[in-house]
Each structure stands twice: as C-alpha cells, then as structure tokens.
Amino acid sequence: MDFSEEHSFVQEKLYCLNLVLGINSCDLDQKVEAVLCDKHKGKKLKLFCEQCETLICKDCTLIDHKDHKFAFIADVVEKHKGQLQKKMQHVCGTKKKIESALKTVKEMQDRVRKNEKKIKKEIDEKIDVKIAILEKMRATLKQESTNLTATKMKRLSLQQDGLEMQLASLKSAVEFTENILVKGSNNDVLSMKTQIESRLTELSKKEIDDEVYEEDKQILQVNEIPHSDLENYFVIKDGSAPDPKKCTVHRISNTNYIVVHVRNYLNQPIDIKTNRIKCKHSELSHFTCSKIMGKKGEYEMEFSRRLGLVQGWFLQVLIDEFIVRPMIIQE
C-alpha cells in the first residue's frame, strides 16, 4: 500500500470512527489532553470503569464508582478497540451500501431522463408522420374540389353560351321584324312576311335550355372518429408503473389479511414499495403491508381489526392514491 492509498484508508477509518463516536476529528486532540480527573484535582485518569464505561481516577473508585468493576486503561483498551473496530467496520459497510444505492439511483435518474428524451422524440416523429398524411390529404381534397368546380363551371359555361346565342338570335329576329313593320314599305312587309313568320316560328319553337342541373352542393364529408379514439390514438405507457385497472385484491377467508396483486398495463406482475399501497376506511386505518416472498407483485395487508367484524363494508385499496377497486368484505 503506497502513501496515498494508506492516507485514504486512514481518512476513511477516521470518518467511520467519527460516525461511531459522534465527534469531529478536530476534537480528538482536546479529548487526548483531558487526562486529569475533573472531580479530583490533580488526579490522573488511569482507570476505566467497565460498568459506567468511563475513565476514572483512583479516588473515583472510593466514592462514585465504589464496588464497580474497573481496570487499568492499558489492560482493557485493546478489548474496547476491538469492539470499536467491529462497530466501525459495520458502519463502513453501511456507508458502502448507501454509496452503492446512491450510484444506482443516480444511474436510474440518468436513464429516466434519457428515456424521456427518447419518448418525446418518438412522439414528434409519430405525430409528424400523421401531420404529413393530413397535409397530403389537405392538398388532395383541395385539388378534388378544384376539379369538381372546374367540371361544373364548364357545363354551366356551355349552357350559358347556348342561352346567350339563342337570346341573341331572338333579339335579332325581333329587331328585324320591328324595322320592317315600322320602316318597311307595304311591298317589303308582304314580300318578306312568309320568311319572317318562318324564322319567328322556328325561334319560338326552339327548346330553351332553362334547367340548371348543376348546384352548389359540394360538401366536405367528415368520417367522424370518436373524440375518445382520437385522444387515445397515442398513449404513453410505463411498464414499471402499476395500472389500477389491472390490479386486484382479494381477502383470505376468516382472517384479517388481504392480498393485493400489483400489475402493469400489460397485466404483468411488478414490484413496488409497500408504502405506495394504502387502505381507505375510517374503521380500518391501522394495518401493515409486506411483500409476499417469492411472489412477484403480491403484497399482504394485515389489519389490526378482524375483517369479519365489518362484514358488508366497502374497503378501498389505493396504489399511488388511485383506487384499485372497491371491495365488499364478506364472510
């Protein structure tokens, strides 16, 4: 062991010793200097009272520690050092466990944050795909509307042209007839009568295209998706979280025990901390909850009151403040 390793080892031992004794290392010098008895002036503390576990002087053995078992410090110090060593090793072991647990927690925090980023990225990707589909649908629907409108407008334009031509012909014939009647001579009227009558008859008998079949009935048909379905199109699920809808409870007959089955959204058993399981009932507020060894996701709730005494009552078991299900207590 080189100097740096030895120094680190000593520092760790001092840290553990401080935890055991509840003192700071800077106080050690003061304690070492305190070698004189504070009750008997000038008397050195050379003895150790086993019963009181304190340093004493020779005069202390005559009054305060009379009939107590004591010995010279040098004779018992090694034994007590050994005891302290064991305590220190135990505390150091606990320290390592805490450090290991902290490391695990920090690693899980990092993994949880990374998982959050991953899920958010996936959400964006999935939603963006749906948005792209909707945008494509928007363009397609608008083009369909444009095409339908163009077809209607073409038919209406042809009908308009036909009616305008027919109207122009009628106006021309009427104007010509009026001119003959007003300005023409008798010979003009009689000579053109047959021709004019024929033209007017032809125009009056010509079918008028006055039925407009095209209508402004273009609508957007929405194939409704239930709002709840749309909300649940994407749902975030956590396989390590209990799903109250999947969790169940049952009572062990003729006992004051209830078994809680903790399940995730996939109906798979999962383990959680027992303090997340609660009971809601004024008469059954005192209970203990413990994990059933060897059975994943199963917990046993023991009530201080016999459940048979509250027959017919509703008992609510909650996980993370969410009700698992109301249970009627029956014998």
Tokens encoding 133 = 């589909």
Tokens encoding 1 = 């062991």
Beta strands in the chain, from DSSP E residues, in sequence order:
47-49, 54-56, 70-72, 248-251, 257-261, 277-280, 287-291, 298-303, 314-319, 322-328
User: Does the pLDDT of residue 22 top 80, yes or no?
Assistant: no
277/17 Cα distance (integer angstroms): 39
pLDDT tens track for 200-217:
999 989 888 888 877 787
DSSP 266: T
Which has the closest alpha carbon to 55: 85, 76, 27?
Answer: 76
**DSSP states along 42-86:** T-B--EEETTTTEEE-TGGGGTTTTT--EEEHHHHHHHHHHHHHH
Assign 178 a pLDDT band (cuts: 50, 70, 90). Answer: very high
Assign 195 a pLDDT band (cuts: 50, 70, 90). Answer: very high
Q: In the chain, what is the straight-line distance between the N-terminal and C-terminal CA atoms, in Å?
A: 69
pLDDT tens track for 33-46:
558 898 888 899 99
Q: What is the pLDDT of residue 231?
A: 64
Q: What is the pLDDT of residue 198?
A: 92
Helix pair 73-183, 186-205: axis angle to 10 deg: 150
Q: What is the pLDDT of residue 327?
A: 56
**Contact (CB, 8 A) for 95 and 17:** no
Q: What is the pLDDT of residue 2?
A: 45
20/7 Cα distance (integer angstroms): 20
Give the three-state DSSP class for 252.
coil
Q: What is the pLDDT of residue 34?
A: 52
Higher pLDDT, 225 or 94: 94
Residue 308: burial class (beta carbons within 10 Å; 0-12, 13-18, 19+): middle
Q: How far is CA 94 from CA 19, 88, 98, 101, 207, in A?
A: 11, 10, 6, 10, 107
Compute the average pLDDT of residues 61-66: 88
pLDDT tens track for 118-147:
999 999 999 999 899 889 989 988 998 998
| pTM assigned to the model | 0.55
Q: What is the pLDDT of residue 25?
A: 46
Q: What is the distance, to the nearest Å, from the Cα of residue 204 to the centroid of all Cα atoms in its chain?
A: 80
Which runs of consecutive H residues, i.e. helices, occur in 184-225? 186-205
Q: What rounded mean pLDDT belongs to the chain?
A: 82
260/279 Cα distance (integer angstroms): 11
pLDDT tens track for 223-272:
776 666 666 666 678 888 889 889 988 888 777 888 999 999 889 999 99
pLDDT tens track for 283-329:
655 788 999 999 999 999 887 765 544 554 567 888 988 888 655 54
pLDDT tens track for 75-88:
988 998 998 888 88
Q: What is the distance, to the nearest Å, from the Cα of residue 234 to the centroid of all Cα atoms in its chain?
A: 13
Give the three-state DSSP class for 323.
strand
Compute the average pLDDT of residues 162-185: 93
User: Does the pLDDT of residue 20 top 60, yes or no?
Assistant: no
> Residue 111: what are its φ and ψ, rounded to 5°?
-65, -40
Compute the average pLDDT of residues 18-39: 56
Which region, left, alpha or beta, applies to residue 329 given φ > 0 means left and ψ of -120 to 50 means alpha? beta
